Amino acid sequence: MSQPADQREISVAVSTVILALLPGACGTRRVHLPLVRRTRQPFQDRWALPGGWVCPDESLSDAGRRTLAETTGLRPSYLEQLYTFGRPDRSPTGRVLTVVYSALVRSHEAAAATEGENVRWCAADDATGLAFDHDEIVRYALWRLRTKVEYASIALHFLDETFSMAQLREVHEAVLQRPLDPANFRRHVEATGTIVPTGERLTGTRHRPPRLYRALVPAGSPGPFAVAGPPS
């Protein structure tokens, strides 16, 4: 199984798409992702997804975790493999394949990112003009997220352990970028059976404090992107 010499010309990288709901310019929450400014050619000074090369003894997901932490300080509890991008011309300096990992993180986890001159959170729909084919990767990740958000358990990855129905609806509205009818939304979510009332109510509101709910699925269970894969 020795490979032909030219086969070695493909290099292997990982990239990460980390999604969080953060307040946008006008105050409403939107899906954001961390970007890293490139300090080297190619695409020097352009924004890119966090990532880097895979070390020889490192699993692909470990490489995703390591390069994400090194560039942004983020350490999500799990990463899921999203897709492998390998178009022959996706890098101008030779053939590079990138295995993309993704995670949804809560706002307080997003705050762990070391924002600075070379790291920033960007509204995902505004993330264009990125290095390599990263525009395409971001669009694909958003499309997957929006396709999957119909399953209520996806949105739970953006929320704290307990939440009101309005908070859950707000996540769906932010992901889908359209208002949802509160009564229809409640009926739909209750029909899915993925959340249960905790018996508590939200404090700090003036009258009729809303009920709190929690997920039936345990935290850290299979994540947002379609199905979880085997570790690799």
- Binding-site ranges for a second copy (CB under 8 A): 1-4, 6-12, 40-42, 53-60, 81, 83-88, 91, 93, 95-97, 99, 136, 140, 143-144, 147, 226-227, 229-232
Residue closer to a second copy (CB basis): 14 or 113:
14
Q: How far is the CB of 125 from a second copy (least distance, A)?
A: 17
C-alpha of 109 from chain center:
12
196-206: buried (b, 16+ CB within 10 Å) or exposed (e) per residue?
A: eeeeeeeeeee
Closest CA to 49 of 65, 36, 66, 61: 36
61: three-class secondary structure by DSSP: helix
Q: How far is the CB of 58 from a second copy (least distance, A)?
A: 7
Residue closer to a second copy (CB basis): 8 or 208:
8
Question: What residue type is assigned to position 140 of the chain?
Answer: Y
Residue closer to a second copy (CB basis): 4 or 27:
4
What gap in Å lies between CA 213 and CA 1, rounded to an integer?
55
What gap in Å lies between CA 56 and CA 63, rounded to an integer?
10
Q: How far is the CB of 182 from a second copy (least distance, A)?
A: 26
Question: What residue type is assigned to position 32 of the chain?
Answer: H
Q: How far is the CB of 8 from a second copy (least distance, A)?
A: 5
Residue closer to a second copy (CB basis): 106 or 148:
148
Residue closer to a second copy (CB basis): 90 or 106:
90
Residue closer to a second copy (CB basis): 27 or 231:
231
Residue closer to a second copy (CB basis): 8 or 178:
8
Q: How far is the CB of 225 from a second copy (least distance, A)?
A: 9
Bridge partner residues of 197 (DSSP): 213
Q: To which residue do tokens 């939440």 refer?
A: 163
31 burial level (CB within 10 Å; 0-12, 13-18, 19+): buried
Q: How far is the CB of 36 from a second copy (least distance, A)?
A: 13
Q: How far is the CB of 108 from a second copy (least distance, A)?
A: 30
**Residues sharing a CB contact under 8 Å with residue 124, sequence separation 6 or more, in sequence order:** 19, 30, 31, 32, 33, 138, 141, 142
Output the six-digit token pair for 76: 């999500």
